[in-house]
A and B are shown apart, each in its own frame.
Chain A
Amino acid sequence: MSNDNCQKVDVSRRKLLAGGAAAATAMMLGSEASASQINNAISWDKTFDVLVIGSGFAALSAAIEARRKGLDVMIVEKMRVPGGNSTINGGLFAVAGSELQKEEGVEDSVELMVQDMMAAGRGINHPELTRAIAAGSPDAFKFVVECGAKFKPKLSWLGGHSVARTYLTHNASGSGIVRPLVKTARREGVVIRTECKMLNFITNDDKRIIGIQVKDGYRFPDEETGIVKHFKARRGVVLASGGFSRDTKFLSAQDPRLGGVIDSTNQPGATGEALRAAFRIGAVPVQLSLIQLGPWASPDEQGFGVASMFNIQSGFRYGIMVERATGKRFVNELADRKTRADAMIKNVKESGEPDYPIILVDSVGAKACPTLDRCLEYKVVHAFDRLEDLASHYQIPAEGLIESVTAYNEYVKNNDDLELGKPVSTATPIIKPPFYAVRGWPKVHHCMGGVEINPSAQVLHSETFEPIAGLYAAGEVTGGPHGASRLGSCAITDGLVMGRIAGNSVARNDAI
């Protein structure tokens, strides 16, 4: 027993060395031996040219692109329905140099988008990936429109962006893109196999990926269900399995603050097993501890909810966020997510309990929110005829609140936020009742880290830093594109652009 404890401690220490974690895990699990054993005696249950793990933006884009090159493609999805987090996200899609920007007179460029993404990422993004994503955004937009996606006729301006460049889907949800992609994929002959959980990658003696081991007929979250099968991939496997926001053990290993006390916006299947399988075969881990909190969430509802859209579209852009205890503003409401979330979680009482800040806007600013009716119906957002009533309801000192609103209105009038530097050129003063307000608190939203890839979406090996033959990755499962903090509305761009690149790359790979 004591020997086991020592061994565990040793392994824990070695996990502090990022590169060592994969090697240590490989040795512990004996995956090299088991992969070899599988390889020699393999009996394939199914064979395709391309296998895609996951079914969100990146997976669907990769599958469709590979299929359009004439290949046999199957998507493997462990949940019972396709879409992952992509189909429940906010539907905000950043595009540099779009047609709508030209119509709205917005001056933008790939270079400016890269700058914004690098600034949000605190400069530690892998710049070649960031540039590939920004450069591919107009084509990705055309791609989804051709598949049937529809967007609102007005751009959004999200925190951390220098200009308005973000499309919003017609239904304010990522499903506005996912459902057209699912239909397109099926119509064009991509197989989407749900209830099929990827377990391990299978390699040949040359360390090339030749397939995956899965549990078919799996019923999430019951780990006893399903039958182990082996699927062959003649050209390659695309890993597009998303992030690990729902993997509380892995999450708290990277950032102990996040061990279960902060909720997540993600779907329950975002548990990162396929990512860990990639590490077992030697994929380079990148920036795993950089985990983003969504600053626009509310503690008064589960997950992403409806208040998030209120805050993104109305509250942060046309309103202000104040400390409950003082009524004072404390952060630029259009700063990037990390800046806002870090500032918000400092709002704590003496006891350490959250003292939720309040985001408020007037009726003019509230018009920008497509989900306002639901916010009010579900009592997450409340309406007030006077600021004094709002202050009373949330127990904010009325004089502090009114002082903040008065000062802010002056900044809007002068187009200069002297206090916090918020860009107020398109803002409106908080004057006209009713006033709408919501309690805010960050939630775990996006894992910036993942496997290392090159601009061709090939996964790199931690021994040679050369591509692992036959393995590609795209979307949230990869690390590097977003650095320390992902800029809002760039995840859809990343998933679609890098997914398409992955699909085209795997199609170029030699068949085995």
Chain B
Amino acid sequence: MLEQNALHQKILDYIDNKIYNQVPVKSYHKKVHQNGNSCELCHGSSEPVTPADTANCANCHGSPEAVAELTKELEPNPHNSPHWETELPCDSCHMEHSESKSVCKQCHQFGFKTP
């Protein structure tokens, strides 16, 4: 299912970027982001020149500790690692406008599929 979603996401990104001339956003963020027209939700500005503030992720998803609680059944827990606990910023792994990639992959082969 996640593999299918990955392919689906790539197609959507391509359509957004090439056909509608919009910055690609993740499929699960399209509605809340008004199909990529609501930059200020994450960037705090309608014409952003700096990366998003991850405090804005917490506005919808809850604190890093709350997110870690949701994934506590996973072993290991990607949101509460021994190395950084819950301190790693969300966009260390979760990229909105490009492919997401787990930081853990630099050293480990956990097989995480980062949405």
Contact = CB atoms under 8 A, between A and B. Distances in A.
Interface stretch (B3-11, B22-30, B55-63, B85-93): B85-93
Contacts of B83: 83, 87-88, 173, 175, 178
Contacts of B92: 80-81
A80 B82 contact: no
Contact of A81 (B50, B87, B108): B87
A81 B109 contact: no
B105 A302 contact: yes
A311 to B, nearest CB: 15
Nearest to A80: B89
Interface string A81-99: 1110001100000000000
A83 B109 CA distance: 21
A306 B108 contact: yes
Contacts of B21: none
B107 A304 contact: yes
A109 interface: no
A408 to B, nearest CB: 31
A267 interface: yes
Contacts of A115: none
Contact of A219 (B51, B81, B84, B105): B51
Interface in A374-395: 378, 380
B106 A268 contact: yes
A467 interface: no
A179 interface: yes
Contacts of A305: 107-109
Interface of B: 50-51, 81-85, 87-89, 92, 105-109
30 contacts: A80-B88, A80-B89, A81-B84, A81-B87, A81-B92, A82-B84, A83-B83, A88-B107, A171-B82, A173-B83, A175-B81, A175-B82, A175-B83, A176-B82, A178-B83, A179-B82, A179-B85, A219-B51, A225-B51, A267-B106, A301-B107, A301-B108, A302-B105, A302-B106, A302-B107, A302-B109, A303-B106, A303-B107, A306-B108, A378-B108
